[in-house]
Amino acid sequence: MFLFHIDEQKYSHIHFIGIGGVSMSGIAALLLHNGYTVTGSDREESKETRLLENLGATVYIGQRRINLSNPDLVIYTDAIADDNEELIAARELDIPVISRGVFLGALMRNYLHSIAISGSHGKSTTTSMIAKILINTKVNPSILLGGNLDEINGNVHMGSRRYLVTEACEFKGNILNYYPSTAIVLNIDADHLDYYRDIDHIIDTFIEYMKHLKKDSVSILNLDDENTKRLIPHIQGRMVGISLSDPSAKYLAKDLHFDTLGHPSFTLYVDGKKTLSFELSIIGKYNIYNALAAIAATVETGIPLEIIRTHLNAYTGLHRRLETVGKYQDIPVITDYGHHPTEIRYTLEALKPHVPRKLICVFQPHTYSRTKRLMNEFTTCFDSADEVVVTEIYAAREKFDPTVKAEHLVERLQNKGTHAKYIQTFEKAKDYLRAHAQKGDVILTTGCGNPDVLARMIVE
């Protein structure tokens, strides 16, 4: 087990390969705040790399062997391949090398209390909900987010050393590196199938995660998710359930209502007793689950329900989570991070009732492996859209795979009667949408690559 004691400065100079990633940049900023020398590299300049430079980091654009300047430790993101020049050089020089997930797990153990939010969908939203509540209390946790929250001016907050709130992604089995005092599992779905064999492999990984938590830990589980319920027999500590329908759940949402824009309200029952009513400022039924998890985590931390309600009702979301970028000739342009079929379906279903005319969804597929393995699911998740535009696949960490193309998805959609069109580039997609969208339409760009760039291009 890799050990990291933040006060010892055993690794005083730490180099990050892929430092611009949202999680990597947050960890790097936290280390800078604690007096560490931080260097790193990424493929391109970004807002995150510029921020880190302003904080005192040395950032190289492009990943080359010469970027290593005798660091004490090298941390690499999961997107880095084994043939990366810096990774090879670090190993040849016998510099300790670990993955981001291993380091985050070691970092987590420096905090007396840690809340780790897992699940295929909703991690960033739930984490930021918890963050918004706790930063307005004496708890004042340190926070590592997977998105940018206005209340903390980014994706990292340097709070107390007693509490840490962080996302805990299951990609490449990373959750097995984490030992939080509170573990939230929102849902378990078939994703990251470039690493996992199938859904059972994912569930088995979560089961192992539950097994190695401490006896005094708390596991907050969504009892409405059948895959998540399979974890219950393996929980080592105390189980806390959340639900919209299961009366055995400690935190139960009832009396659900939605306003004309889709904002949900509900009455919270705790241990079967009616408590307070909540009115969320973000849309979608799925966000009730995220809110319940945030309520459960913060109540278990000792925060009064009245305070939780005040800050949760005022929560307006993360950037790139159903974020309205602006308008083009009175046509709203929204961007979202959804890249899995389940996420896309829920988002479109939440938006559709509030669109006067046509809901136009622009989808940027993310990775060849996900597009290929989930092709059937992608074929059915756009049913609530009136028109679907599919751009080129965002390769991310993967090499070109000629066996899967964005055009294949478009063909499948067209065959089932969906009004779908393939447009390769953002520039051409912008021109098409500006020419064809009309007043009363809503344009949504979605994906976890960079479809927000297209949204801004349309508005500009």
The CB density around residue 223, as the number of other CB atoms within 10 Å, is 22
| pLDDT the model gives residue 296 | 98
Q: Label residue 293 exposed, middle or buried (CB < 10 Å: 0-12, 13-18, 19+).
A: buried
| pLDDT the model gives residue 321 | 79
Q: 323 or 58, which is more confident? A: 58
State the average pLDDT over residues 31-50.
Answer: 94
pLDDT tens, position by position, 381-431: 999 999 999 999 999 878 899 999 999 999 999 999 999 999 999 999 999
| pLDDT the model gives residue 201 | 96
Q: For residues 123 and 178, is the Cβ–Cβ distance under 8 A? A: no
* Unique residue bearing structure tokens 């005022």: 314
pLDDT tens, position by position, 255-301: 999 987 788 999 999 999 999 999 999 988 999 999 999 999 999 99
pLDDT tens, position by position, 309-322: 999 999 988 777 78
- The pTM of this model reads 0.82
| pLDDT the model gives residue 271 | 97
Q: 312 or 1, which is more confident? A: 312
Confidence of residue 161 (pLDDT cuts 50, 70, 90): confident
Cα separation of 110 and 379, whole Å?
Answer: 45
Please report, rounded to a whole number, the percentage of residues in the chain having pLDDT higher than 70.
Answer: 100
Find the angle CA(397)-CA(54)-CA(45) to the nearest 5 degrees: 30
Tell me how far apart the 2 most distant CA atoms of the chain are, in Å: 63
Residue 162, pLDDT > 80, answer yes
Confidence of residue 183 (pLDDT cuts 50, 70, 90): very high
Q: Which residues pair with 116 in a beta bridge?
A: 166, 183
Cα separation of 201 and 203, whole Å?
Answer: 6
Q: Within 13 Å, how many C-alpha atoms sit on residue 122's CB side?
A: 26
Please state, rounded to an integer, the average pLDDT across all residues of the chain: 94
State the average pLDDT over residues 363-381.
Answer: 94
pLDDT tens, position by position, 21-35: 888 999 999 999 999
| pLDDT the model gives residue 334 | 92
Cα separation of 157 and 160, whole Å?
Answer: 9
